[in-house]
């Protein structure tokens, strides 16, 4: 266990000369909370995370204890605290900076210079008492992961790192980078020039942008991704499960909704490999069934037949990833950024979506689609399959089931949709 990150952090805590023995456990709990929040946000250990004093109060209630422990953790080079905080201000050019809390991160040596046993994360952040759904709990009791996943994870990380775009490889016209607590959107040329001035590179990775040296970025991300993927799998192997309904969109959030899709091939349910029964172009299939929107007939037909992506690839002579980027903007972006190409092809649909976003706020659109998805897939399909005693792992717009159950589950889902007058196309993958 001395090779595990949290064990390394705990060892450093034991080297602190606290005045009270009770401070050691409280310091460990605080560091575990910070660690878990970093993992939850994607495992980026280099970006400081804001933590309010109110949050730390939930871990260490007494103010004097809290101040002492935070001070000693910083003095011991375990936690680094960003001294700055702000109540908000506006620059002369009108750029507004919102208020923000003090931010913290672990000292880099604890993360990047520690040998990590990537199959040994045990007992971290146990939250089984948060499991609210008995049907989910029954399925989680019979699930595990093939241990060869831990051999595959480094290869997966290499595949991910190969997708990094650097400098002029980046084609985005406008780029947003977080500076301090503010997301600044500037033209690509601005950030390329800024990178040259500061002797770093402009990097794009997983739709996020960074200003950093290429070598240091790759090594940092390699470690962070291996930690994140391994942590996700070890929680499942160790039985550290959770399940909650998201308060905003009512989606089911649990271990498998946060698992990297490439790792699902190692999931074993009730002793069998699993397959996914997936709704094709799900968000837009859901949209096509909502009467509150005015939609083009060709959009409805394409979305419900599952051919939307293929049609746009051919019509616009672009690849699937480019189609996906267009549709992500439609689902999650502001109306002013809707691709002109899609406005030309689906004028009625795009106008209806724009009207909705302009009236209710652009974020409300994707939330409504996700609420529709959760009603359909969790309150509908998942409940139906559970009543028929079929082990299933729901993952947003899909159901992951045992290989031997795949054919009948697909048929049961199709019958369920037909009974409820919901039109879509399913595929097994």
Task: Look at residue 130 and tell me whether its pLDDT is greater than 70.
Answer: no
Residues present in the chain in total = 429
Query: Token digits for 290?
Result: 């909502």
Query: Token digits for 81?
Result: 């605290």
Q: Is the torsion defined by CA of 165, 166, 169, 171 positive or negative? A: positive
Q: How far apart are CA 197 and CA 211, in angstroms?
A: 11
Note whether 275 and 406 are within 8 A (CB): yes
Note whether 392 and 385 are within 8 A (CB): yes
Q: How far apart are CA 232 and CA 226, in angstroms?
A: 10
Distant-in-sequence contacts of 91-95, Cβ < 8 A, 24+ apart: 95/182, 95/184
Query: Token digits for 32?
Result: 């575990």
Q: How far apart are CA 165 and CA 143, in angstroms?
A: 37
Q: Where are the alpha helices (DSSP H) in 238-317?
A: 282-288, 297-305, 308-316
Mean pLDDT of 57-67: 89
90 vs 295 pLDDT, higher one: 295
Note whether 205 and 164 are within 8 A (CB): yes
Task: Look at residue 129 and tell me whether its pLDDT is greater than 80.
Answer: no
For tokens 């997936």, name the residue: 278
pLDDT in tens, 280-332: 999 999 999 988 899 999 999 999 999 999 999 999 999 999 999 999 999 99
pLDDT in tens, 263-285: 999 999 999 999 999 999 999 99
Which domains are seen in the chain, by residue range? 1-113 (1.10.10), 127-269 (no CATH), 279-428 (no CATH)
Q: Is the torsion defined by CA of 369, 398, 320, 297 positive or negative? A: negative
Q: How far apart are CA 287 and CA 278, in angstroms?
A: 16
Per-residue model confidence (pLDDT) at position 146:
95
pLDDT tier, 55 (very low <50, low <70, confident <90, very high otherwise): confident
Task: Look at residue 119 and tell me whether its pLDDT is greater than 60.
Answer: no
Other C-beta atoms within 10 Å of 131: how many? 15
Backbone dihedral region of 338: left (phi > 0), alpha (psi from -120 to 50 degrees) or beta?
beta
Per-residue model confidence (pLDDT) at position 37:
81
Burial class (CB in 10 A: 0-12, 13-18, 19+), 290: exposed
Note whether 324 and 333 are within 8 A (CB): no
Distances (CA, A) of 245 to 62, 131, 361: 32, 10, 23
Q: How far apart are CA 131 and CA 336, in angstroms?
A: 41
Task: Look at residue 131 and tell me whether its pLDDT is greater than 50.
Answer: no
14 vs 119 pLDDT, higher one: 14
- Torsion angles phi and psi, residue 29, rounded to 5: -65, -40
Q: Can you tell me whether residue 166 is helix, strand or coil?
A: strand
Note whether 13 and 31 are within 8 A (CB): yes
pLDDT tier, 259 (very low <50, low <70, confident <90, very high otherwise): very high
For tokens 């490999």, name the residue: 273
Mean pLDDT of 107-118: 59
Note whether 362 and 230 are within 8 A (CB): no
Other C-beta atoms within 10 Å of 20: how many? 10
Per-residue model confidence (pLDDT) at position 250:
85
pLDDT in tens, 185-198: 899 999 999 999 99
pLDDT tier, 421 (very low <50, low <70, confident <90, very high otherwise): very high
Q: How far apart are CA 415 and CA 412, in angstroms?
A: 5
Q: How far apart are CA 251 and CA 374, in angstroms?
A: 5
Per-residue model confidence (pLDDT) at position 117:
32
Task: Look at residue 199 and tell me whether its pLDDT is greater than 90.
Answer: yes
| Average pLDDT of the chain, as a whole number | 86
Query: Token digits for 420?
Result: 């409820």
Ranges 29-33, 242-246, 377-381: which has the least confidence: 242-246
């Amino acid at each position: 266990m001395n090779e595990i990150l949290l064990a390394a952090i705990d060892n450093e805590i034991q080297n602190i000369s606290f005045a009270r023995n009770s401070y050691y456990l409280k310091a460990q709990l605080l560091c575990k909370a910070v660690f878990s929040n970093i993992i939850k946000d994607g495992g980026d250990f280099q970006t400081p995370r804001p933590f309010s004093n109110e949050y730390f109060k939930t871990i260490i209630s007494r103010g004097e204890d809290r101040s002492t422990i935070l001070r000693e953790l910083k003095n011991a080079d375990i936690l680094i605290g960003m001294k700055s905080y702000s109540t908000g201000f506006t620059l002369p050019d009108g750029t507004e900076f919102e208020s923000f809390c003090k931010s913290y991160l672990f000292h880099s040596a604890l993360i990047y210079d520690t040998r990590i046993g990537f199959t040994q994360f045990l007992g971290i952040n146990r939250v089984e008492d948060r499991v609210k759904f008995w049907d989910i709990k029954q399925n989680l009791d019979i699930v595990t992961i093939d241990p060869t996943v831990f051999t595959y994870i480094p290869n997966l990380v290499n595949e991910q790192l190969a997708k990094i775009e650097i400098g002029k490889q980046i084609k985005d016209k406008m780029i947003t980078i977080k500076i301090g607590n503010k997301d600044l959107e500037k033209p690509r040329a601005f950030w390329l020039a800024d990178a040259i001035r500061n002797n770093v590179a402009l990097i794009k990775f997983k739709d996020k942008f960074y200003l950093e040296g290429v070598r240091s970025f790759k090594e940092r991300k390699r470690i962070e991704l291996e930690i994140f993927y391994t942590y996700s799998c070890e929680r499942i192997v160790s039985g550290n499960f959770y399940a909650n309904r998201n308060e905003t969109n009512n989606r089911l959030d649990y271990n498998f909704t946060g698992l990297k899709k490439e790792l699902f091939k190692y999931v074993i349910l009730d002793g069998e490999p699993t397959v996914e029964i997936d709704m094709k172009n799900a968000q837009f299939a859901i949209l096509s069934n909502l009467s509150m929107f005015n939609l083009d007939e060709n959009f409805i037909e394409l979305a419900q037949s599952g051919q939307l992506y293929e049609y746009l690839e051919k019509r616009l002579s672009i690849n699937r990833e480019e189609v996906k980027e267009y549709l992500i903007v439609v689902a999650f972006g502001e109306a002013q950024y809707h691709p002109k190409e899609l406005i030309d092809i689906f004028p009625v649909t795009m106008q209806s979506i724009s009207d909705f976003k302009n009236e209710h706020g652009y974020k409300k659109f994707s939330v409504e689609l996700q609420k529709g998805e959760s009603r359909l897939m969790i309150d509908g399909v998942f409940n139906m399959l559970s009543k028929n005693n079929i082990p299933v792992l729901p993952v947003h717009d899909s159901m992951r089931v045992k290989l031997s159950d795949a054919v009948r589950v697909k048929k049961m889902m199709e019958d369920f949709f037909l009974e409820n007058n919901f039109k879509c196309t399913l595929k097994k993958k």
